[in-house]
Amino acid sequence: MDERDTAAILPADTLPSPDNESTTNDSCSPNEEVEIRTSSFRRPPFACPFGLSVEPVLFLSMFSIALQAPLTTQYLWDRISEDLGYNGTKGGGCGNTSDRPDPLQKEVETLTAHWNLYINLGGFALGVVVVTLLGSWSDLAGRRPVLIVPSLGLALQAVVYLVVMYQKLPVAYFLVGRLLSGLSGDFNSVLAGCFSYVADTTDRRSRTFRVAVLEACIGVAGMFASVIGGQWRRAQGYINPFWLVLATSLAAALYAYLFVPESVSPDPSAKLFTTRHHRAVYRLYSGRGRGAGEGTGGGDSSQRCKLWLYTLCFFLLVTVHMGSRDLYVLYELSAPLCWGPALIGYGSAAQYLGYLSSLLGLRLLQLRLADSWVAVVGLASNVAGLVVIAFADNTQLMFTGYGLCFLYMAATPVLSSTCRVFLVPGALFASVACVEGLSYLVASGLFNSIYPATLHLLKGFPFLFGAVLLLIPAGIIG
């Protein structure tokens, strides 16, 4: 997420429709149809409580991600500061009130940004391959594995992080945890699995409400985890919050195993390692071939051109979202803001509040405006917030920037919905997964490299850079 925000508020019509909606169930408890088409291995031991299905899985996984992401950056900062003998941020203040930048703080910032880069690149590089394979495989083999396995991978990552903290191992070992999480599909597989599950088990009338519930789970879990993490870190340090990260990841996997019934009729012959879906994406964008699972409009150059343009918009938007999110905590830790863990938690909560405000704003704007205008308004909100954050030198201005981003996620579902016009379900998941995975890689590499390289020029330059990048999709949509 990461906090992983791109698929968070996909509207109902972007989700692939089940092959036969008349045979799907809207409630959590498996009905007669599900009983017939699920093997005993895939049938959960218990019925889901309170009429829920995958919502608790997404809530717990999102809570785990939102709790650990800011704490990891803060831990890297503290460990690197300790190794270099820098104590400028201890006690809640930077201790450097002069206009002259502290060269030691610059070195800490640079090394922290670089280690964030290495750790994230390691996880995303594996995740971009694994999430595409797992997601496409789940269309045939079932959704439960892509809910359970990634959650266990997140738990393994938390175990590695705890070992590093207990033993004071070099921060390079964090990379091992990210690689294990990436090998299991990472949080993106959980996210995709939950939205696909809702598409499998609902009809068009009930799907909108169920998707809204999933979106609310992401925003509420993120806000709670951010506030709890900041206060807990200030009171007891890093280790106890990471025990909660481990517990929530295991709880997500356990809930999926015990309570979530299978929504797809499992095909025992389904292959995990196949290039079929990647070939479908290639044919989709190259115009070579047309058919089930290969894309539409292959012979129409105008339609293919529009698909490329909207994909470029989606790519740039996700890149800016992920790249800026990687830097917020680092930006807040250093001068002139010098935030402590509590303020960092509130700042992270303000970001997740944007999920809920964007969802509400999207629904209201669509009553009066065309989707293209809704996307432009969302991009304008994002640009305004990033520009203010780039020049924020006090707490009030920083939170003003977060407030201006209250519609920053409104453009994402519009682009996703538009892209779906050119796709058939067979190529939909693979295409979105490939674009998102590539966006994560580019975002981590680009923004974490620009930040230390431009500290002498303008500390908030990466945010200005992101705002300029967003003008490209605004122009294309316009």
In this prediction, residue 343 carries a pLDDT of 94
User: Three-state DSSP class for 160?
Assistant: helix
Confidence of residue 208 (pLDDT cuts 50, 70, 90): low
What totals of helices (H) and strands (E) does the chain contain, helices first?
16, 0
Position with higher pLDDT, 405 vs 5? 405
In this prediction, residue 18 carries a pLDDT of 43
> 231-245 pLDDT, tens per residue?
999 999 999 999 999
Note the pTM of the prediction, 2 decimals: 0.82
Task: Name the burial class of residue 37, with classes exposed (0-12), middle (13-18) and buried (19+) by CB atoms within 10 angstroms of its CB.
Answer: middle
> 233-283 pLDDT, tens per residue?
999 999 999 999 999 999 999 999 999 988 888 777 777 777 776 676 677
Closest C-alpha to 251, from 240, 243, 241 = 243
Helices 371-390 and 301-333 cross at an angle (nearest 10°) of 30
241, two tokens? 């919050």
295 bridge partner residues: 291
Provide long-range contacts, Cβ within 8 A and 24+ apart, for 200-205: 200/18, 200/24, 200/143, 200/263, 200/264, 201/18, 201/24, 201/25, 201/26, 201/53, 201/263, 202/24, 202/26, 203/21, 203/24, 203/26, 204/12, 204/17, 204/21
In this prediction, residue 308 carries a pLDDT of 87
In this prediction, residue 223 carries a pLDDT of 94
Mean pLDDT of 311-329: 92
Around Cβ 330, how many Cβ atoms within 10 Å? 20
Phi, psi for residue 195 in degrees, rounded to 5 = -70, -35
Q: Say if CB 122 and CB 115 are below 8 A apart.
A: no
Which segment of 57-66, 358-367, 432-441 scores lowest on mean pLDDT? Answer: 432-441
Tell me the domains of the chain and their CATH numbers.
Answer: 12-26+50-93+103-265+276-477 (1.20.1250.20)
Mean pLDDT of 438-446: 88
Which segment of 42-46, 209-213, 434-438, 458-462 scores lowest on mean pLDDT? Answer: 42-46
Mean pLDDT of 5-18: 45
237, two tokens? 């340090």
In this prediction, residue 99 carries a pLDDT of 53
CA 156/CA 176 separation, integer angstroms: 10
Helices 395-404 and 341-365 cross at an angle (nearest 10°) of 30
User: Three-state DSSP class for 356?
Assistant: helix
Enter the DSSP assignment of 44: -
Which segment of 51-55, 183-187, 458-462 scores lowest on mean pLDDT? Answer: 51-55
Mean pLDDT of 386-408: 95
Q: Which residues of 194-233 are buried (b: 16+ CB within 10 A; e: fewer)?
A: bbbbbbbbbeeeebeebbebbbbbbbbbbbbbbbbbbebb
22, two tokens? 């008349």
Confidence of residue 300 (pLDDT cuts 50, 70, 90): low
Mean pLDDT of 179-190: 90
The mean pLDDT of the chain is 81
In this prediction, residue 137 carries a pLDDT of 82
Q: How far is CA 135 from the centre of its chain?
A: 15
Helices 411-420 and 301-333 cross at an angle (nearest 10°) of 150
> 81-97 pLDDT, tens per residue?
999 988 765 444 465 44
In this prediction, residue 15 carries a pLDDT of 46
Q: Say if CB 65 and CB 3 are below 8 A apart.
A: yes
CA 329/CA 74 separation, integer angstroms: 7
Q: Which residues of 249-265 are buried (b: 16+ CB within 10 A; e: fewer)?
A: bbbbbebbbebbbbbbb
Helices 186-201 and 103-141 cross at an angle (nearest 10°) of 40
Mean pLDDT of 143-169: 94
On the question of a cis peptide bond just before residue 49, with omega within 30 degrees of 0, the verdict is no
Q: Say if CB 388 and CB 324 are below 8 A apart.
A: no
Q: Say if CB 317 and CB 411 are below 8 A apart.
A: yes
In this prediction, residue 129 carries a pLDDT of 82
pLDDT above 80 (res 224): yes
Mean pLDDT of 154-163: 97
Q: How far is CA 402 from CA 4, 346, 349, 373, 444, in A?
A: 18, 11, 10, 22, 21
In this prediction, residue 216 carries a pLDDT of 84
Phi, psi for residue 139 in degrees, rounded to 5 = -60, -30
CA 324/CA 463 separation, integer angstroms: 6
Q: Say if CB 335 and CB 94 are below 8 A apart.
A: yes
In this prediction, residue 475 carries a pLDDT of 93
Report which residue type is found at 73. Answer: T
- Distance between terminal CA atoms of the chain? 28
